[in-house]
């Protein structure tokens, strides 16, 4: 039998595993939504797709700070094609804890004009951040721009946008780990976990 083609649209995850939460995290983490081994396997698959699509290109990767750091590090180690790497910072200043208009905190430094660009983010949620970042990148007049996200939460979408490469499609849970944070905590978790509601209901956002 021929091998099943690897999809760029994402693997659907429907439920977490409370039994996989390490004991020291059980007071804060409700369940493990995506274990570390599944993340590693999917990152390798995404790298295969990207290598195939950009095998004849001099690719520029722009990674959105800060949540992409672990995903980015693992992804590019599987890319044996010419790659240039840059970073972009986007934030939403908050008023009374409500997110406001996105603002650029760090502009890309590499030349992007007439280049193939891959924009990487940790999670596609409402779509506002990725849509804003794409607008900034397009102002540099690249030859093409594609997007790659580790997680896609389509039920939260406000802006009609889809990513070209998706790791996992997830339900509307508050997720942390593998670079994703809450109040700058949990980024170092090796898995994607669901945060207990009582944690983000009582811990202030930095």
State the pLDDT at residue 97: 42
pLDDT for 204 equals 58
Spatial CB neighbours of 19, under 8 Å, sequence gap ≥ 6:
none
| 101 compared with 186, residue with greater pLDDT | 186
CA atoms within 13 A on the CB side of 111: 4
Active-site residue, 125 included? yes
pLDDT tens digits, 142-191: 999 999 999 999 999 999 999 999 999 999 999 999 999 999 999 999 99
How far is Cα 122 from Cα 166, in angstroms, rounded to an integer?
A: 10
Q: What string of DSSP letters covers 128-142? A: HHHHHHHHHHHTT--
| All domains in the chain, ordered by first residue | 36-172 (3.40.50.2020)
Angle formed at CA 157 by CA 26 and CA 68, multiple of 5 degrees: 55
Whole-Å CA distances, 41 to 32, 36, 169:
16, 9, 15
CB-CB contact of 101 with 117 (8 Å) = no
Catalytic residue among 125, 152, 164, 181: 125
Q: Does the structure show a pLDDT above 90 at 4?
A: no
Tally the residues of the chain.
206
Asked if residue 92 has pLDDT above 80, the reply is no
Q: Could you tell me if 175 and 124 are in contact, meaning their C-beta atoms sit under 8 angstroms apart?
A: no
């Amino acid at each position: 039998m021929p091998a099943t083609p690897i999809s760029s649209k994402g693997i659907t995850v429907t439920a977490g595993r409370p039994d996989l939460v390490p004991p020291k995290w059980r007071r804060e983490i409700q369940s493990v939504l995506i274990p570390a081994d599944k993340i590693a396997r999917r990152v390798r698959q995404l790298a295969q797709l990207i290598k195939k699509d950009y095998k004849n290109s001099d690719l520029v990767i722009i990674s959105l700070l800060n949540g992409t750091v672990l995903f980015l590090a693992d992804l590019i180690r599987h890319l044996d094609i010419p790659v240039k790497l840059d970073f972009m910072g986007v934030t939403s200043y908050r008023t009374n804890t409500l997110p406001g208009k996105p603002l650029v905190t760090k502009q890309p430094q590499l030349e992007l004009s007439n280049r193939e660009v891959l924009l990487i983010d940790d999670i596609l949620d409402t779509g506002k951040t990725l849509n804003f970042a794409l607008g900034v990148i397009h102002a540099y007049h690249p030859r093409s721009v594609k997007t790659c996200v580790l997680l896609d939460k389509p039920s939260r979408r406000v802006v009609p946008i889809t990513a070209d490469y998706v790791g996992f499609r997830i339900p509307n849970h508050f997720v942390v780990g593998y670079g994703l944070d809450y109040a700058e905590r949990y980024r170092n978790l090796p898995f994607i976990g669901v945060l207990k509601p009582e944690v983000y209901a009582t811990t202030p956002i930095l």
